[in-house]
Structure 1
Amino acid sequence: MQDDFLDKVYDLETPDALRRHYDAWAARYDADLEAQGYATPGRCAAALKAAGLSRDAAILDMGCGTGLSGRALRAEGFTTIDGADVSAGMLEVAAGTGAYRQLVNTAETGLPTGPYAAVTAIGVIGAGAAPAALFDDCLAALSRGGLFCFSFNDHTLEMPEYTARRDIALASGRVSLVSEDTGVHIRGLGSTSKVYVLKRN
């Protein structure tokens, strides 16, 4: 992979460095990830379908990147998807997919507040991506009874600052667990991820 964008992502330490990295990667992101067998978007979209989410439910795809996740949601029949991301370069590519009703640059306007029937954070919250605090922001954007579908990869599952957000939300009764599944994340790297669907109570 030229420039090793995927390898370098885990070494980024500031939001600005992360944004610059993803802006530079945007043009090749889809090709790089698809070549490596990026499976998590499809798994998350299938998990939402299995959870019974209506096909026309309003979904916020948080950290939508170039739209791989939006395309996966569309492939499962979902039709009303808004995307949000910090990278203008990634959003430019996402706009060309036709997957989204609207796109929001959160670096300029802040996070969408909803309420949404579902929020996804697919490969977004964790090492080399968004901070743990985004977990609570995603829950805040949900309507009562709404579904939050997210993934934690192997790196993230070893980092208590991320897993604690999940555990606290479940223990408090703020959310309940609908489903949890471990499977392939990026096949070419031999990595796995855990896909969760939570329901906001």
Structure 2
Amino acid sequence: MSADEASDALNQVYAAKSEAELAVAYAAWSNGYDRETAALGYCLPFVIAAWVARHVPVEAGPLLDAGCGSGLSGPYLAALGYQDIDGLDMSSEMLALARGRGVYRNLVEAALGARLPLADGAYAAVLSTGVFTEGHAPASSLDDMARIVRPGGALIFTVRDSVLDKGGFRAKFTELESAGRWARIEESPSFRAFAVAEPAVTVKAFVFRVRQP
């Protein structure tokens, strides 16, 4: 598949108007997802490991890859020494691909934006990349993601620049900071999500430290 054709598949994902439409789009794309996003130069599943390594000690405890998709991040986190990695995604087809990586301890089928079937403080850190973008998980997802991080743990994620304000992410950051739920540790400069195609798709990475409830 050419980069243009891969971009068409990506645009169909961005065009989804509901969770059901998004699930259908990812199911249709799942078989070619890894190959086609590689053609676009999609780098977020790999570069997120840099922020994890910077802020989360290897011995800190289990990680959750929230919106793990086909599990591209998992093997690189494992290569850095992280042993207990769980994955969560709304697409059973994507989770089947993630299972094939052989590095995820548990895989959970659930959508961000509702209460997750996971215990309070279950993780030393939650990472999420590529899911806070056009037509994807809402800013309200951050409330429950913070719930499942233990006090002192890290929440590490990317947000597409185009939805930072209009999607309510900046407002949610302030809300959770004002409520004492977390403290901002890092905000990266904007950078390209795709090294080859889609130059207009830029994101920022954020790191928050979850506080005592």
Q: By how many angstroms is 1:124 displaced?
A: 1.3
Instruction: Note the alpha carbon deviations across 1:56-92, whole angstroms, 9 max, x for none.
Output: 6200111111001223322332221000111011001
* 1:55–1:186 distance in 2 versus 1, CA, 3 Å: farther
Once superposed, which parts of structure 1, at least 4 consecutive aligned residues long, lie more than 3 Å away? none
**5+ residue gaps, structure 1:** none
Structure with higher helix content: 1
Q: CA deviation at 1:140?
A: 0.8
Q: CA deviation at 1:43?
A: 2.2
56 and 145 in structure 1: CA distance in 2 versus 1, 3 angstrom threshold: closer
- 1:189 corresponds to 2:193: no
Identity among equivalent positions (%) equals 34
CA pair 2-196 structure 1, distance change in 2 beyond 3 A: closer
Q: What does residue range 2-81 of structure 1 map to in structure 2 within 5 Å?
A: 4-55=8-59, 57-81=61-85
Q: Which structure 2 segments of 5+ residues have no match?
A: none
Aligned residues: 200
Distance 1:36 1:3 in 2: 7
Contact 1:69 1:122 in 2 (8 A): no
- Matching residue of 1:128: 135
Aligned residue runs from structure 1 range 109-128, under 5 A: 110-114=116-120, 115-128=122-135
**CA 1:55–1:24 in structure 2 vs 1: closer, same or farther (change >3 Å)?**
farther
Alignment of 1:143-182 (within 5 A): 143-182=150-189
Q: CA deviation at 1:38?
A: 1.4
Verify the 8 A CA contact 2:146 2:181 in the aligned structure 1.
Answer: no
Partner of 2:102: 98
Deviation at 1:176, TM superposition (A): 1.1
Tell me the TM-score normalised to structure 2 length. Answer: 0.85
* Distance in 1 of aligned mates of 2:75 and 2:147: 24
